[in-house]
Amino acid sequence: MEPTPVATSPLPLDPSPLKLVVDADTGHETGFVEAVEFARLRAQAARYLKPEDLERLDAAYQLASRSHRGQFRISGEPYVSHPLAVTEILAQWHLDAQALIAGLLHDVMEDSGVTKEDITSQFGKVPAELVDGVSKLDRIEFKTYQEAQAENYRKMFLAMARDVRVILIKLADRLHNMRTLEAVRPDKRRRIARETLEIFAPIANRLGLNTLYRELQELAFKNTYPMRYRVLAKALRTVRGDRRELIARVMNSMRERLPVWNVDSEVYGREKHLFGIYRKMLNKHLSFEQVLDVYGFRILVKDIPGCYLALGALHELYKPVPGKFKDYVALPKANGYQSLHTTVIGPQGLPIEVQIRTSQMHAVAESGVASHWLYKENSTESLSDLQRRTTNWLQSLLELQSTSGDSAEFLEHVKIDLFPGDVFVFTPMGQIRNLPRGATAVDFAYSVHTDVGNRCVACRINGEMRPLRSELKNGDQVEITTAQHAHPNPAWLSYVRTGKARAEIRHFLKTVQQEEATHLGERLLSQALRHLGVALGDIGAPAWDKFLKEFNVRSRVDIFTDIGLGKRLAAMVGRRLADLQDGQPTPTGETKPARPRLPTPILIQGGEGMAVQMARCCRPIPGDPIVGLLRKGQGLEVHLNDCPILTRNHSSERDRWVDVEWEAGEDRLFDVGIRVMIHHRRGVLARVAAAIADQEANIQDVNMEGEHSEDAIIHFTIQVKNRPHLARIMRAVRHIPDVVRIVRERSIERPSDKH
């Protein structure tokens, strides 16, 4: 939370003793308040830090105190109370001295004259890097608040990928801000709460910090919907009183039955969090009275065999609800969480949720990745596995960074990946892959390796061939088939679920589009110059240098790319280059007068690429008379000469029209629509489809209108090589007795597709 602005100047770094500071308005001796808060923090840290580390902590406190002197929070408290509270949270997690120092200093680079170099010189490189990772980018100007926030998050995530302590400090910072949000104005309070729900709470969950995750959710709910929070809290207090006897009876029953099964255990009752209850009411459209399972139970045992013994005892005591059992012990969540979850029918028919776990699992569930510091003296294999999982996720953030185009796109990918996976699938070798619910075979392919994703063409799920868009279910075994020359399909973006898959597909498509656009732009500029009687090769380096300087462009390639994407008009670029070239010697050393040349159309090389696309409104095929339209930022769109939509909507854009022709010898397939009117007889659809197939055409889509009437219309999308190929197909279909009429359709849109 930002302090009230004050004039500051660079502060000396000598650790002088703290003196009393008296606030001019209140007369309070703020130094005493700070001393008490720091004494509490120091006592917490002294339980596990070495004496020399405590001395460095003292020095960091002195620097933080002087840096924030005269600064106050919106609530009126001295600002230094905030870093002290943040560092106390870090000390509760038993983070090391470097993290505690960074916690005390996490705001000094933003709010005072202390620099990263100052922190490095006194405390070392690591604390300085941690502080820098947490600091916002206040000194960089952005066009919008959203852009600034996206860049802040991007920097934070990348710093976190290098050192997870960055995000732990940031989470502690956010937790204290959320605990003290009452002083902030309502609109800002709601924005901060929304950010917390969208970004920080999911991060805490992804890192296994369950206690922090729940508290952030509760505080965000309280500050976003204060009235709903109060109403639900009151209703829960009422239920707590009504069901106290019932809860005690369930706990006593469990405590009596478990020893019979030789299970040494502890049983706890727990109240569901308000946000969880609210979300359940919202998602399932329930009233509070209809939410029966507002209480849950937790059983802690000594070891893994005890978990399954306790489960057997529980299912003997109460009937389990079918389909409500989850084994996160054998298959841990992505954040390292392990427990057995079951729902049973308790007394009076109430459903009861029970979690069964070991004490070690409970430590990881509550403290997550922080348990590495909190319990490192008792490091176990499960903690090592958690560290490995966290490291893999942080590494994936670096991969997302390298493939994302900008900060907003990077943040979008990270948000997708923040939610833990719910689907466990297997590779052919028996390895487990954890993916988000709704993930497809394409997501699985990219989870194996980027090259596998980029080159996948088919998949087998449980031994059967299935479409790549098939959603995966728990226990599926997935095998991916790849091809050397395959590449990502833009349509994949409509159904992939993981940030990695989405980022890699977009990165590939952008790269391909840029290469195609550069090649197309060069051809368009060459055509424009020919209209002016100049060859592209005649434009010398002096003319190009003047042009690039005049328009502040780095290279000729950038000009070609902009033309190919429709961001610049080839005619205008050509005219300016021709003017700059007049009187200049050509690259061969000659000074030639302009010679008229015949305009040459651009040759279209066949199937759709990223920079040249066939218009969906008229779907031209080789042999059709065509014209090109440069769409800004999208490249060249090829239309039929008489396309009504082109004429109607783009008559004012004739300077963007380009002469194009089909290149001879291309042997690619193009989508085209045909409409077949038939007498509806048994088997007529099969005969029409067979006639199309006999002419070596692929049927992409079939749609029928009026299938329950005497006459019907069948819409086909088929793939043809050219116009003569289409003519042969239409003749073959027309010879079928029950076919009344066949015509070519211009638009790809079907009547049934319209809403």
What's the number of CA atoms in the CB half-sphere (13 Å) around residue 612?
Answer: 24
What distance in Å separates the CA atoms of residue 610 and residue 516, rounded to the nearest whole number? 7
Contact indicator for 216, 204 with CB cutoff of 8 Å:
yes
Q: Which residues pair with 614 in a beta bridge?
A: 638
What distance in Å separates the CA atoms of residue 420 and residue 338, rounded to the nearest whole number? 13
Q: Could you count the other beta carbons within 10 Å of the beta carbon of residue 595?
A: 9
CA dihedral 390→396→398→404, nearest 10 degrees, is: -140
Phi, psi of 265 (to 5 degrees): -145, 170
Q: Is 174 helix (H, G, I), strand (E, B) or coil?
A: helix
Contact indicator for 443, 421 with CB cutoff of 8 Å:
no
Helices 81-92 + 51-67 axis angle, to 10: 150
How far, rounded to the nearest angstrom, does the alpha carbon of residue 329 sit from its chain's CA centroid? 28
430: Cβ–Cβ under 8 A, 6 or more apart, which residues? Answer: none
Query: ∠77-81-85 over CA atoms, to 5°?
Result: 135
Phi, psi of 658 (to 5 degrees): -130, 135
For residue 509, the 8-state DSSP code is: H
For residue 78, the 8-state DSSP code is: B
What distance in Å separates the CA atoms of residue 712 and residue 21, rounded to the nearest whole number? 90
CA dihedral 437→442→443→445, nearest 10 degrees, is: 130
Is position 711 annotated as part of the catalytic site?
A: no
What's the number of CA atoms in the CB half-sphere (13 Å) around residue 586?
Answer: 11
CA-closest candidate to residue 479, choices 535, 521, 430, 423: 430
Plot region of 349 (φ>0 → left; ψ -120 to 50 → alpha; else → beta): left
What distance in Å separates the CA atoms of residue 266 and residue 264, rounded to the nearest whole number? 7
Of the residues 110, 385, 471, 661, which is catalytic? 110
For residue 440, the 8-state DSSP code is: B
Phi, psi of 233 (to 5 degrees): -60, -40
Query: Which tokens hold the place of 130?
Result: 């941690």
Q: Which residues pair with 602 in a beta bridge?
A: 660
Is position 406 annotated as part of the catalytic site?
A: no
- Where would I find the beta strands (DSSP E) of 158-286? 265-271
CA dihedral 640→645→648→650, nearest 10 degrees, is: -70
- Where would I find the beta strands (DSSP E) of 396-544? 423-426, 432-435, 456-461, 464-466, 478-482
- Report the amino acid identity of residue 425: V
Query: ∠136-137-142 over CA atoms, to 5°?
Result: 130
Helical residues (DSSP H) of 93-124, grouped into ranges:
97-105, 108-111, 116-123
197: Cβ–Cβ under 8 A, 6 or more apart, which residues? Answer: 216, 217, 220, 221, 224
Of the residues 88, 107, 111, 671, which is catalytic? 111
Q: Is 574 helix (H, G, I), strand (E, B) or coil?
A: helix
What distance in Å separates the CA atoms of residue 504 and residue 719, rounded to the nearest whole number? 29
- Report the amino acid identity of residue 192: I
Q: Which residues are catalytic?
A: 110-111
